[in-house]
Structure 1
Amino acid sequence: MKRRYPWSLALACFLVILLAAPLVISDRYHHIALQSGVVFAASNNSYSLSSPVRLMSGPTIELESGTLSVPPTRTGLARGGEVIAMLITGSGPQLTLENATFTADFSTREPTFSQTETASEIAPLVKALQGMQFSDLTVRNGTVRIKMSDGTIAELNKVQASLSGEPNGAISAAGSFEFHGEKIDFDTTLGASLDAQGKSRPLNAAFSGTPISAKLDGNLLLGESPQLLSPRAELSTTDLRATARWLGVNWPSGKGFGAFSAKGPLEWANRTIAFQNAAIELDENDATGTLSVNFAGPRPSVEGTLGLKSLDLTHYLKADTPEDQARTILASLRAADGFDFPLIDAVDADFRLSADTVNLPATTIGRSAATVSLRDGKMLADLAELEFSDGTRGGGQIRIDQSGDTPGFGMQAKFESPDVAQAIQAVFGHPTVQGRGSVTIDLTATGDTGENLLQSLAGKLCVTLVEGGRIGIDINSLTSPQSQSLPEEKWQQVSATAITVDTLDARFSVTNGVLRAQSAEAVSGERALKADGAISLVERRLDMELAVGDVIKAAAESEATAAVKMHPREIINMHGPWSAPQISNEPAPDAAQSIAPAPG
């Protein structure tokens, strides 16, 4: 059975069983009592349990099997009657429990077996055990099975422990156990009762092993819903990915998620572990805030509110090779084969993150804030605030849906004052528009390959220059007094030269990977430009018409904010592969056209 239970839950349950059980079966702790048990003599100084012994109720904890024995006296091996007398008088130096199996049932509060034996039927050794009349207890080769409400079982094997008690009721335990094949050493002390019922007890514990290490100092609250409260707790692992797999979480291989540590107040209740006002470090990223993990659902659920001075994402993102840097985003996307985000399926999460700086492989972002939600195979990331070092500001939302047969993706974003040329250069490989303005993106796509994504791409795209800029096409070389075709080699010269524009507003709708111009207009001095047509991202093809004409100035100052009119003089046709389209021009129809001014 696949196990998804955290180390701390298993260890806390183990503490309840190992430390509390020898105490709560004593008549000094009347709130929880030994219910029943039957034993038979295996030898003169050892007894084997033949039926379960109830140690606690709520949660139900039982000692299902095991062999109890005492060491030899100075005169040799003790006889059965002498053993009983020694234990009853309190002179027994040590009791040994071998091959024991404990069970802790957190799935129900009802008894798991019927109690039919009377007190007179309980073996003398068990009666003596009820009175806690031994100085030390040694557990050898034990097993602890922890059953949760969903029926899954966490099992601790090869339990080796040495317990010793103090007159005031405090008890210490040290030893080791194996969980999922890894050995964990522990050293714990459960102090004297803090209340009359013995439900609250101070606890100091330390655990260490290859997967994980932990220290805590606080209080253990027993009862139907055991709780662990530690004002001072520490948790660390050298490899978070490996630790998650050790705990049964399907965490994939990849970059980052290595060294992890958390220090601060800790609370464990039911199946939730929470750090409050903690110092948290992951891959040398230092954060402060809250972090909790809940294991009650089919997947672990993580919540956190963390603030960072600097968030270095280069630990998690692949650095571009020279070959990657030479590719455009479209080329890289087209070559992609398979999109899989296993972590989205592995956990549920709600994170609120803020950072003064965010380091990416190719750039640095200033003050940033984001909320990330993972739920049922879906991811929603709200980027509320992004400030780039070049003055660009923005925000938006990213969506990934892996809940169906075909993954779906969505992006909404708006950037103010970006260097538009850099963005277009990265996507298309050519800075068709240069200058600062605003960029608005609202796109969706589905598919598990780059080609499928491009073919399904849909939404809207808008680019606006608010302070003027340049268009990376030499309109002067394309215009002529009569219709003619442009030689193929001429396109390289035309696309390598730019003209200045005062305003530009380009709005496109996107359907099946094809951008269609809804309104693409610019004004350059006395000249106006208007584009119409489509750009296919799938076929890398242009089918555009560019109208070029003269601006008609407003007759009065009151008309200055009205739509700008133009007299079109000619139409430039561009058809074919965008790397070398066929270009021709023709006189425009004798009709006036208007251009709406760029918003904002």
Structure 2
Amino acid sequence: MAQGIKRLGISVAVLIAAAVTGAFALSLTIDRGALRQAVEQQLRAATGLQLVVDGDIDVTIFPRSTVTFSNVRLKSDEDGGTDAALSVKTLITNLRLLPLLLRRFEIADVMLNQPSIHVVRDAGGRSNWTPFIDSLTRTMKPGLDDQVSFSEIRLQDGELSYRDETAGVQEHIDDIDLSLAWPSISRTFAATGQFDFRGERLDGSITVADFIAALRGDTSGIKLRLAGAPMKIAFDGTIANKTSLSLIGTVSADSASLRNALRWAGQEPPGTGGFGRFALKARANLIGASIALTNVNVELDKNVAEGVMTYTLAGGHQGLQATLAAGSIDVTPYLSTIRLLASGARDWNRQLFDLSSADPVDLDMRLSAAKVTIGSTTLGRTAISANLRGGALALSVGEAQVYGGIAQGTFGVSRSDKAASIKAQFQFNDVELQTCAADLLGVRNLSGRGNLSVSLEAEGASPFGLAQSLDGSALLTGHDGAISGFNVEQLLKRLERRPLSGGGNFRSGSTPFDKLTVSVRFADGIATADEVRIDGPTARISLSGAASVPAREYDLKGVASLAGGSAAKPGFDLPFIVQGPWDDPLIFPDPESLIRRSPASAPLLDAVKDRKTRDTVRSVLERITGKKQDAEPPADAPAAAQPEPKAN
């Protein structure tokens, strides 16, 4: 047994020594010129392309059998060799050993070191690679027994540049490391590897079921995978290219951050909120520069919708059309950066809008949802259409269940280099006034049900600028509600009995109403009250005056009346004043009217010009308003004159 193993080992050693000796001897006797010519012929037979060698050619037989070409260009029979569509720094062909011992030259695999690939599409849609594809198609004949094939073609440290002269698109891919499986090119072609694109390292793979059919433009199965930090994309379907490129199959994509993926793709997303986790799966049909997606299931920021989408790219311009339906949608993240009011203040936000971004993708979308959340507001069944073209947004609400009623309207935003313009027309029917007025008008002491219609226009570089230029109108009508914060009936009855008793603590309770009407006109940021009337079971209130939208302040005068008066005994009327900020205005009776209603104090008004009674009147005013009145010098006294002593 031991002797047999020893004899076998000796035999193997002898065979290896003989092979090495034979290879060494072969390296000395082989015709390197014939070897070079055979390799060139096989490359041409396999690809239909001709080698143009601008550098040295190195043939090595031992210890490895290789032919190395330096500075190589590949060309077809149709070009003159000047178009550097494909150039290679070093092309290395490894030869099969056994055929080489029999003095047959067969290429085992090919490596392209530092290849440079240039793809150019002209205005007619023809590529500089079209002659290469035509040559390869004529060369590849399915079913031929003498078909030349390689086990592998490797691309190492390559680059690809792409230029579309019609669309004005230029792209560059670096550090390409690919392995092309080429075992039976008449049936299947596969490539896997990595490359750098726009600063990100991507893993990619492609498998073509019938490579020859694909080269001819006939239908062939195809699988495509791309994976990187920005996004993962997969396609499984068919490809054809008779008159134009066509892909039909299932596409899926997902990204941890759609915002980062869009930026990587060269598209700046709006705002700074939302556009996080993204996933899409659909049936895709790509024809030319248009891709139609059906059976779409898309998820963005935990919002899930289904429907159809179409994406087009023409002349470098992008367009997206979509019809989607969803159960529940939260749009709060996308509106989080729109702050009308300054943080922690009552003033409008004065931060300038960002108007420098490029025009985004044109958008035409229709969305229906059973529930829509906007901050603290929840909408019921909602149908919305949005159109974004040239940076101008037009939003139409066909129907939205909100505030217990129905809302309809349109909202438009356009921009120029220096300002943004808005137009809004909305109608809220039979809504709950408490939540509607609080969310839309900032008024939090109103309840009941009613209708609100607004028509507004504004232009500015900031929310404050919009407030300064606000034009339009608003009409609010309500019924069966109340105004909280004061009880008009209680106040009027007290002042009717004792006009000079002061307002007291009247900022409590509520004033019910049967009917409410508020009609307001806006011009250059000033709201003028055309009609403000509140009719209740016990009191009536009417207001006139103006309010500053930029300053967010009231300057109104009104009259409150007790209901139930008659001709014999008219109801008690009390003029009052509303001044101060919207969220906390000052409401106080008109002091002069109270003095006139007091039998003891009315004569004092007629004696205001009498210096002896001036201070007495001032004391009465201080009692009514609770504020100390400044003493005024007589009209005929010099500026430095001191006021006279108080009258006894």
Q: Name the TM-score, length of structure 2 as normaliser.
A: 0.68
Q: Which stretch shifts more, 469-478 or 62-71? A: 469-478
Name the SS of the counterpart of 1:258 in structure 2: coil
272, 280, 285: which one aligns with 2:303:
285
2:108 maps to amino acid:
P
Q: 2:170 aligns with which of 149, 153, 167?
A: 153
Aligned CA distance change for structure 1 residues 115 and 350 (closer, same or farther; 3 Å): closer
Pick aligned residue for 2:545 from 509, 515, 533: 533
> Within 5 A, what are the aligned runs for 1:162-561?
162-165=179-182, 166=184, 168-192=186-210, 193=212, 197-223=216-242, 225-230=244-249, 232-251=250-269, 254-296=272-314, 300-318=318-336, 334-340=348-354, 345-388=359-402, 391-426=404-439, 431-470=444-483, 473-476=486-489, 477-478=491-492, 490=504, 493-525=505-537, 528-548=540-560
C-alpha spacing 1:46/1:109, structure 2 compared with 1 (3 Å): farther
Q: CA deviation at 1:257?
A: 1.2
List aligned pairs for 1:570-589, cutoff 5 A: 570=573, 572-574=575-577, 576-577=579-580, 579-580=585-586, 583-584=589-590, 586=593
Post-superposition offset of 1:435: 0.9
Deviation track 1:547-588 (CA, whole Å, cap 9, x = no partner) reads 4568899xxxxxxxxxxxxx997462426425225531759x
Would you say the 8 A contact 1:503–1:523 is kept in 2?
A: yes
1:185 and 1:46 mapped to 2: Cα distance? 29
CA, structure 1 residues 342+310, in 2 after alignment: closer, same or farther (shift >3 Å)? farther
Secondary structure at the residue paired with 1:515?
A: strand
Output the amino acid matched with 2:365: F
Which residue of 2 is the match for residue 556 of structure 1?
none
- Work out whether residues 310 and 322 of structure 2, in 8 Å CA contact, stay in contact via their aligned partners in 1: yes
Maintained 8 Å contact 1:144/1:157: yes
The residue aligned with 1:71 is 94
Deviation at 1:541, TM superposition (A): 3.8
Contact 2:381 2:401 in 1 (8 A): yes
State the distance in 2 between where 1:398 and 1:570 align.
43
Deviation at 1:274, TM superposition (A): 3.6
Return the letter of the residue paired with 1:372.
Answer: A
Q: Which amino acid aligns with 2:112?
A: L
SS in 1 for 2:516: strand
Question: Residue 507 of structure 1: CA displacement?
Answer: 1.0
Instruction: Tell me whether 339-348 or 177-186 shows the greater mean CA deviation.
Output: 339-348
Q: Give, in whole Å, the separation in 1 of the partners of 2:536 and 2:77.
A: 87
The CA deviation at 1:423 is 3.6
1 or 2 for the larger relative contact order (CA 8 Å, sep ≥6)?
1
Answer yes or no: is the 8 Å Cα contact 1:164–1:171 preserved in 2: yes
| Paired residues of 1:46 and 1:70 also in contact (CA < 8 A) | yes
RMSD across aligned C-alpha pairs, in angstroms? 4.2
Query: Given residue 303 of structure 1, which amino acid in structure 2 is its aligned partner?
Result: Q
What amino acid is aligned across from residue 515 of structure 2 in structure 1?
A: T
Check whether the contact 1:170–1:191 (CA below 8 A) recurs between aligned residues.
yes
1:272 positional shift: 3.6
Q: Which amino acid aligns with 2:368?
A: S
The 1:169–1:313 alpha-carbon spacing in structure 2 relative to 1, beyond 3 Å, is: same
8 Å contact 2:360–2:390 — kept in the other structure? no
Alignment-derived partner of residue 646 in structure 2? none
Q: Deviations over 1:530-557 (max 9, x none)?
A: 322212233444333334568899xxxx
For residues 436-485 of structure 1, the C-alpha deviation after alignment (integer angstroms, 9 at most, x for no partner) is 11111222222233332222122111111144544765433258569979
Q: Provide the secondary structure at the position in 2 that maps to 1:502.
A: strand
Distance 1:55-1:514 versus aligned 2 partners, 3 A rule: farther
Residue type at the aligned position of 1:522: I
Q: In the aligned structure 1, how far is the partner of 2:425 from the partner of 2:148?
A: 67
Is the contact between residue 308 and residue 322 of structure 2 (CA under 8 Å) also seen in structure 1? yes
> How far did 1:161 drift?
1.6
Write the letter of the residue equivalent to 2:268: N
Gaps of 5+ in 1: 1-24, 117-129, 554-566, 588-600
Q: Which residue of 2 aligns with 1:9?
A: none
Paired amino acid for 2:379: I
The 8 Å contact of residues 579 and 587 in structure 2, kept in 1 or not, is answered as yes
The residue type paired with residue 178 of structure 2 is A
Q: Could you tell which deviates more after superposition, 345-354 or 130-139?
A: 130-139
Compare 457-466 and 410-419 and name the one that shifted more: 410-419
Q: Match of 2:108, SS?
A: coil
Identity %: 22
- Deviation of 1:197 (Å): 4.1
Cα 1:173–1:542, aligned 2, differ >3 Å: closer, same or farther?
closer
* Alpha-carbon displacement from aligned partner over 1:100-135 (angstroms, at most 9, x marks no partner): 22222234337788999xxxxxxxxxxxxx985544
**C-alpha distance in structure 2 between counterparts of 1:485 and 1:227, whole Å:** 88
Once the two structures are TM-superposed, the CA of residue 414 in structure 1 deviates from its matched residue by 1.7
Q: C-alpha distance in 2, partners of 1:408/1:312?
A: 26
For residues 331-388 of structure 1, the C-alpha deviation after alignment (integer angstroms, 9 at most, x for no partner) is 5561452334888843332221111112333232221121122221222221222213
Q: Which has the larger radius of gyration?
A: 2
Paired letter, 1:532: S
Distance 1:56 1:410, change over 3 A: farther
Deviation at 1:214, TM superposition (A): 1.9
Q: Helix, strand or coil: the match of 2:94?
A: coil
The residue type paired with residue 143 of structure 1 is: E
Structure 1 residues 472 and 397, CA gap change in structure 2 (3 angstroms):
farther
Give the Cα separation in 2 of the matches to 1:401 and 1:235: 32
* Matching residue's letter, 2:577: M
Matching residue within 111, 122, 128 for 1:96: 111
AA at the equivalent of 2:167: D
Q: Using the TM superposition, give the Cα deviation of residue 406 of structure 1 relative to its aligned residue in structure 2, in angstroms.
A: 0.9
- Give the helix-richer structure, 1 or 2: 2
AA in 1 matched with 2:461: D
CA distance in 2, matches of 1:110, 1:314: 44
Alpha carbons 2:320, 2:361 under 8 Å: kept = yes
**Residues 300/478 of structure 1: CA separation in 2 closer, same or farther (3 Å cut):** farther
Q: Could you tell me which amino acid in structure 1 is paired with residue 107 of structure 2?
A: G
Aligned mates of 2:433, 2:118 — CA distance in 1: 65
Q: What is the rounded CA distance, in whole Å, between the counterparts of 1:468 and 1:56 in structure 2?
A: 86
Cα distance change, pair 145–535 in 1 and its aligned pair in 2 (3 A): same
Kindly provide the CA deviation profile for residues 195-233 of structure 1, in whole angstroms up to 9, marking residues without a partner as x. 894433211122222222122111122356323222x22
Deviations 1:86-113 (A, max 9, x none): 3xxxx32222222222222234337788
CA distance in 2, matches of 1:419, 1:277: 39
> Which residue pairs with 1:120 in the alignment?
none
In structure 2, relative to structure 1, the CA distance for the partners of 1:229 and 1:26 (3 Å cut) is farther
Aligned equivalents of 2:435, 2:470: Cα separation in 1: 22
Count matched residues.
512
